[in-house]
């Protein structure tokens, strides 16, 4: 199985000749890349790595302006901007593309991945190729997949020790139908909501809780408005780098290669950094005052059993081929 990072496509630029006819080097082209992750999140830091490597690989012909922390709008706005071409590229949780490309939900199955190695084995193989094809049909160019991580539930009502503890909790989720269906199946009350609204909704008790990787819980400061944190790990989530396909395809081959090389380095850096930050963030959340309760094995098994029907529903929606491939590759 070839490693996807070799073919990860880089972030974005406007087409421009490297040389003026009979003149010296042209002025560097600068492109905008938008994201909704906090400045101190590993993915935002990785985009700074990308910016540096892009300048090096292109010999200064290409540069990038990076806009993290929703400076150019929220995640869905960034998706729309890339699709229209007003922003060249974005890095976002894949859930924000799942309504446009429902096949992405195949890697959002509940309890599908035992660890990050299994998750990346899936996304770096045949499944990732299939998803890239579906994205291209909708005008997006897949640039590679970083780690968002295993998602864990926090709440303000009670520790989560049994499946019954999830009952009726109003939990914020991303706008992903498989995610929402999974939480309905375990008896919770899921609410789809953009990330920029979550802190205030928790603070005002509009929501009981939310679910995210530890690093997001920490960088978004949800510990300030949440008491309990679990290790439910119900989904493993990816951050996808996507560009406007038409604009990328219009670039000269040497500029495309510079982008691919820069993105490969950035994605590799982020994956390593995210693994470090995941463990550190959980420790930090406890230091800040959150109570951590690991799920007992019997509770995890009960949750997995309760969500088994979600897999069958998704097969009916998008077909069984890609889901079967996810499950087979996840097992190794």
Sequence-ordered list of residues with C-beta below 8 angstroms from that of 167, at least 6 positions apart, any chain: 187, 188
CB 242 within 8 A of CB 141: yes
CB 203 within 8 A of CB 210: no
Phi-psi region of 268 (alpha: psi -120 to 50; beta: other; left: phi over 0): alpha
pLDDT of 26 reads: 52
**pLDDT for 112-139, tens place per residue?**
999 999 999 999 999 999 999 999 999 9
All structural domains of the chain, each given as residue ranges with its CATH number in brackets, are: 4-147+238-279 (3.40.190.170), 152-235+281-331 (3.40.190.170)
pLDDT of 17 reads: 33
Residue of 243, 239, 240, 241 whose CA lies nearest to 88: 243
**Residue 200 and residue 225: Cα distance in Å, rounded?**
9
Q: Provide the whole-model pTM.
A: 0.87
**pLDDT for 282-318, tens place per residue?**
999 999 999 999 999 999 999 999 999 999 999 999 9
The lowest-confidence range among 14-28, 179-193, 208-222 is 14-28
**pLDDT for 90-108, tens place per residue?**
999 999 999 999 999 999 9
**Residue 87 and residue 159: Cα distance in Å, rounded?**
42
Given a cut of 70, is residue 10 above it in pLDDT? no
**Residue 71 and residue 133: Cα distance in Å, rounded?**
30
**Residue 240 and residue 192: Cα distance in Å, rounded?**
20
């Amino acid at each position: 199985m070839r490693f996807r990072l070799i073919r990860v496509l880089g972030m974005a630029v406007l087409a421009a000749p490297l040389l003026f006819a009979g003149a010296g080097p042209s002025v560097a082209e600068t492109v905008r890349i938008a994201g909704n992750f906090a400045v101190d999140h590993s993915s935002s830091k990785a985009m700074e790595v990308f910016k540096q490597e892009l300048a090096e690989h292109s010999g200064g012909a290409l540069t990038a302006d990076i806009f993290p922390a929703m400076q150019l709008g929220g995640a869905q706005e960034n998706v729309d901007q890339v699709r229209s071409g007003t922003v060249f590229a974005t890095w976002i949780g894949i859930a924000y593309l799942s309504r446009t490309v429902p096949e992405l939900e195949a890697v959002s199955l509940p309890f599908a991945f035992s660890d990050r190695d299994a998750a990346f084995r899936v996304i770096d193989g045949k499944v990732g190729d299939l998803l890239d094809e579906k994205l291209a049909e909708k005008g997006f160019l897949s640039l590679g997949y970083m780690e968002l991580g295993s998602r864990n539930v926090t709440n303000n009502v009670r520790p989560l020790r049994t499946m019954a503890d999830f009952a009726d909790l109003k939990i914020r989720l991303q706008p992903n139908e498989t995610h929402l269906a999974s939480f309905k199946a375990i008896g919770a009350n899921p609410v789809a909501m953009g990330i920029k609204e979550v802190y205030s909704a928790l603070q005002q008790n509009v929501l009981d809780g939310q679910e995210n990787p530890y690093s997001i819980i920490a960088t978004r400061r949800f510990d300030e408005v949440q008491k309990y944190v679990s290790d439910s790990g119900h989904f493993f989530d990816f951050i996808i780098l996507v560009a406007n396909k038409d604009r990328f395809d219009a670039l000269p081959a040497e500029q495309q290669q510079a982008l691919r090389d820069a993105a490969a380095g950035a994605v590799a850096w982020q994956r390593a950094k995210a693994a470090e930050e995941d463990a550190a963030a959980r420790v930090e959340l406890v230091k800040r005052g959150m109570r951590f309760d690991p799920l007992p094995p019997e509770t995890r098994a009960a949750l997995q059993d309760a969500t088994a029907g979600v897999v069958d529903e998704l097969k009916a929606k998008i077909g069984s081929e890609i889901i079967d491939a996810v499950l087979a590759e996840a097992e190794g």
